[in-house]
Amino acid sequence: MAPVNLSHRRTHNLLLISKLLSLRDTASPLTLVLDSLEQPATPLLKEYIRRAKLSKVHVTLIAFETLKQPEGVDAFVTTRRKSPADITKEVSAVYQHVANSNPSRRRLILIDSINPLLNSKRDDPGFHLPSFLSSFLAPTSPTAKVDTSLVVTYHQDVPEPPQQSPYASSPLSVLTYLATSIITLHSFSHILAQKAARDRSLAPPVFGLEEEQEGVLLGRLDKLSGTGAAEGIVIELEHRRKSGRGVLEWYLLPPASRYSPQHLKEIVTLLDDNILYNPPMERDPGAENEEPTSTFELGLTDKQRRDREGVVLPYFDAQSGDGPGEGGRILYDMGEEDDFDEEEDEI
């Protein structure tokens, strides 16, 4: 890739991810996070919460599978035995007193897993996914202007039950259609293993459920062979700008242990900038010793070179035009070290 292009991406796309994760300027009202067992969204959600705390954003977690209120979450809404309408009501209720005291605050709503809601057997004819999601984003009262960002996690590996109506689109396609940003998560060590295989034109390896090995749910192991230092998660971002132009970029989020919770500078880097993913090219590998190694001395000393340059080759002599028949004679000056062979001329 051209270096100009990379530096352009470095400035623009890093700014973009920083804006998205820190919820600045409501760059993305609805972010869809697609995760899998191989790379759960937990570290990313924690990063969202960490940044929200730094910039004093009110965080609400709608818990479909989390049992305890995680650290940093201001409001924790459980969803057990609640209808979608109840959830919406409760989510707006927990923010009511905050909105009254400080109307200009921003708000982050996290949904830890949307799958249980989509797979529910509950007969709820009134449930409509787009309106459920937009009910969080729409202002609760016309006076209070709240910038709300919604981050929805969807587990890609949880199978969906067949649709009620065969013509209805699947919830995942509805979600990807609605989302302003789609983040797909990958494990860094798996990305490295797959890249290594591709570089050798091998089929990239698969992990976990995709292995289709009986009894294996998770393939992730800390010590995946050959990827000792590969910690962190890879973020594949597709962001739709307001103009309609899409931005595609791959980032790397380092593990939370690498930086302090109060760290303000951007920690996300481009995947292409990573030294493990994109090792720097060695400059002209082996330019110095291009010669093949052998037991013979193939080089020339200075004297040998001068002597070689002094040799007049026969065709030069032929061009000097000493007359017909003269050119093309084999000129031979006997050197000191030559051993004159009398019989040779007679042949």
Partner 1 sequence: MPSQPPLPPLLAPYVSTLPDASLTLVSSILGATSNWLVLRFLHAALSSQSASTFGADDLQNGIKKKVVLVSFMRSYEFWKTEAKRLGLDLTRLAEKHQFAFIDGMSELFYAQSPAPTSSPGMGSSPRTTLPMRGPPGAVPGRAPQPTAPVGTMGNPAAKQEPGIAKKLHFSGRGLASLDAMEKDIALVIEQQKTQMEEGDELVLIIDQPDLLLATTGPSMGIGATEMSEWITGLQQLAHATIVTLATDTPLIHNASGLGGQLATPIETEHAAFAIGLAHRARSVMQLRTLETGAAKDVSGVLRISRGGGLGTGEDNLEEREALYFIQRDGGVTVFGRGES
**Under the criterion CB under 8 A, does residue 225 sit at the interface with partner 1?**
no
The answer to whether the beta carbons of residues 186 and 41 sit under 8 Å apart is: no
Site pattern 17..46 for partner 1 (x: CB under 8 A)? ------------------x-x--xxxx-xx
Nearer to partner 1, 38 or 249 (CB): 38
Residue 278 φ/ψ, nearest 5 degrees? -125, 75
d(CA 256, CA 241): 29
Distances (CA, A) of 311 to 7, 319, 336: 55, 15, 15
Using the minimum distance from each CB to partner 1, give the nearer residue, 39 or 180.
39
Measure CA 145 to chain center. Answer: 35
CB 186 within 8 A of CB 204: no
The answer to the question of residue 205 lying near partner 1 (CB under 8 A) is: no
Residues 72-101 touching partner 1, rule: CB under 8 A, are 80-81
Nearer to partner 1, 42 or 92 (CB): 42
Measured from the CB atom, the residue of 215 and 310 that comes closer to partner 1 is: 215
Least Å from the CB of residue 87 to partner 1: 13
Residues 134-193 that bind partner 1 (CB under 8 A): 155, 157-162
Site string for partner 1, 42-61 (x = CB under 8 A): xx-xx---------------
- d(CA 28, CA 19) in angstroms, rounded, equals 9
Residue number, 86 or 307, with CB nearest to partner 1: 86
- Residue span 252-271 as binding mask against partner 1, x where in contact by CB under 8 A, dash where not: --------------------
* Structure token pair of residue 44: 């990313």
Q: Compute, in degrees rounded to 10, the torsion defined by CA atoms 89, 92, 93, 94.
A: 130
Please, which residue, 41 or 183, has the CB nearer to partner 1?
Answer: 41
Got the DSSP string for 172-193?
HHHHHHH-SEEEEEEEHHHHHH
Angle at 345 between CA 343 and CA 346, to 5 degrees: 70
* Helix residue spans in 22-83 (DSSP H): 42-54
Asked if 125 interacts with partner 1 (CB under 8 A), we say no
Per CB under 8 A, residues contacting partner 1 are 35, 37, 40-43, 45-46, 65-71, 80-81, 112-113, 115-117, 119-122, 155, 157-162, 209, 212-218, 220-223
